[in-house]
Chain A
Amino acid sequence: MRHFLVPLYAIIIFLVLWELLVWINDWPNYKMASPSDIWPAFWKFKVLFFQYGWDTLWRTVVGLFIAVLCGVFLGMIMGFSKVLREAIYPLLVGFNAIPKATVVPIIALMFVGQHDLNTVLIAFMISFFPIAVSVSIGLSTLEPEYRDILRSLGASKSLIFWKIALPKTLPEFFGALKIAVTLAFIGTNLMEIVSPHGRGLGALFDSGKTNSDYPLMFAVLIALALLGIGLYYVVVVLEKIFAGWAERSTD
């Protein structure tokens, strides 16, 4: 119960302080909307919130899913072959160094009007890097004794991968996935905000801007925060299920 109540109190205190801050300074809602402005803004567009929220969610998840597939594949290649690691790594680092905000207009122009494709693509591009790196590090740092134990028993390469390399890499993988899920979410919103006539929470945010509906913009921020928290904890639950063994009990 404490588990649940302490964060709840913290959120309530945060909202009260926020409300007070706006009230004391007598800020108009275009400077800073207060929590009490946000609920009506949400209620006014509640159907759009759910429709667009769904768009943002599935685009992020699909982008992330592709990022996991590609990241794990790249990570495996780099983890198993030193030559390929040396070949691919500088390319990856260079690609990752490009701020994705600059790639957004390029992709948007490349596939004009295909909002779903564009958004998924950016979510994928921004989030696969940490996954690839973590998997490759996990595989390449496998202690040689682990391999020797299995090899001396006559185990094949694929058996060594399934029995040892894969499970041993899972904690690193989930660590990276927690970062990737947040990144993918950023990617989705970058594209949604930029795409004209698009859908998704980013588009709703943009329409709030063009219509000077400031409480709506703040309501979108809250909705994004809630979605982000949800996604993050889904990863946490998956981690508990598949890599819970890596967590040391504290007692």
Chain B
Amino acid sequence: MSSNEKKDAIIIKDVTHTYKTETGFLPVIKNLNMSIPENGFTAVVGPSGCGKSTLTKLISGLLLPDEGEVYLSGEKITTPRPTVGMAFQNPVLLEWRSIIKNVMLPLEIVPNKLNLQQKEQRAKQLLSLVGLEGFEEKRPSELSGGMRQRASLCRALVHKPEVLILDEPFGALDAFTREDLWQVMHNLRKEEPFTGILITHDLRESIFLADEVVVLSGRPASKQFFVKVPKSKTPKLESLYTSKSIDMLKSLRKQIEIAQSQQEQNK
């Protein structure tokens, strides 16, 4: 793929953000620059509490940066935008709605021209894509953790957002379920191309899913290191155990350690 010709869907330019707490100012992000090309998928890793979740809020427009700018498809973000889809570690499904009604939620809020039948069809199509066919009318409480997270991914994608923001969506799942969902993500990307940013603590996850992995420095976060990950058309879990992958994981691990010790010092 000639990714050079694609325009950037997300641009983060010289962004600095500081939280005002009762004890003073807490700088979380400092002079961060990064961009994600259209239909690109970037993973962001870094020490705990380094400002990764703040980054997702800045991209979704829930927070505005103190300094610098965030652009979505060339437009500067000044307010929350309905062209964003989000999924968190907690699937936050609405317990009083069936799975399909949960997936349809964004279509009730974002302006669109679909009628009810089309909305249902769209939700069903996504649910079958993640392997939840036949669970449309179940309640979230009747589903396992992994299935709930699948439904949550469908909800994030149902309104065809420009950007999909994933904040540790697989963090609370057991290892095998997590690997299943990695495959689901690859499926979704193939069938429903999106531009995505994935926050994670799992280095294997980051190189298996993303085209590029960015390591953030300790708080205040800036871009410390990045690596491009070549992708085959049909990624297999075994690819994680090749010497190339293992070298990549080692160097990422090293970078995390550097970031952690830096964060320790800044305390």
Contacts and interface: CB of A to CB of B under 8 A. Distances in A.
B105 A163 contact: yes
Nearest to B89: A145
Given A163-B105, A245-B139, A248-B141, A152 B92 contact: no
A168 B97 CA distance: 11
Given A154-B82, A246-B95, A145 B88 contact: yes
B255 to A, nearest CB: 29
Contact of A152 (B62, B95, B96, B141): B62
Interface string B149-189: 00000010001000000000000000000000000000000
A245 B96 contact: yes
Contacts of A103: none
Contacts of A248: 141
Interface in B98-141: 105-106, 108-110, 139, 141
Contacts of B92: 143, 145-146, 149
Contacts of B81: 152, 154
B96 A151 contact: no
B86 A152 contact: yes
Interface in B39-97: 57, 60-62, 79-82, 84, 86, 88, 90, 92, 94-96
Interface residues of A, number: 22
Interface string A141-177: 0010110111111110001000110011010000000
Contact of B109 (A143, A159, A168): A159
B82 to A, nearest CB: 4
A149 B139 contact: no
Nearest to B57: A148
Contact of B86 (A148, A154, A159): A148
B199 to A, nearest CB: 13
Contacts of B139: 245
A37 B188 CA distance: 75
B79 to A, nearest CB: 8
B95 A153 contact: no
A163 B96 CA distance: 10
27 contacts: A146-B92, A148-B62, A148-B86, A148-B88, A151-B62, A152-B61, A152-B80, A152-B82, A152-B84, A152-B86, A153-B80, A153-B84, A153-B110, A154-B79, A154-B110, A159-B109, A163-B105, A163-B109, A167-B94, A167-B96, A168-B94, A168-B95, A170-B96, A245-B139, A246-B95, A248-B141, A249-B142
Interface of B: 57, 60-62, 79-82, 84, 86, 88, 90, 92, 94-96, 105-106, 108-110, 139, 141-142, 155, 159
Interface of A: 143, 145-146, 148-155, 159, 163-164, 167-168, 170, 243, 245-246, 248-249
Task: Name the 8 nearest CB pairs between A and B, nearest first.
Answer: A245-B96, A154-B82, A152-B60, A145-B92, A153-B109, A155-B109, A145-B88, A167-B96
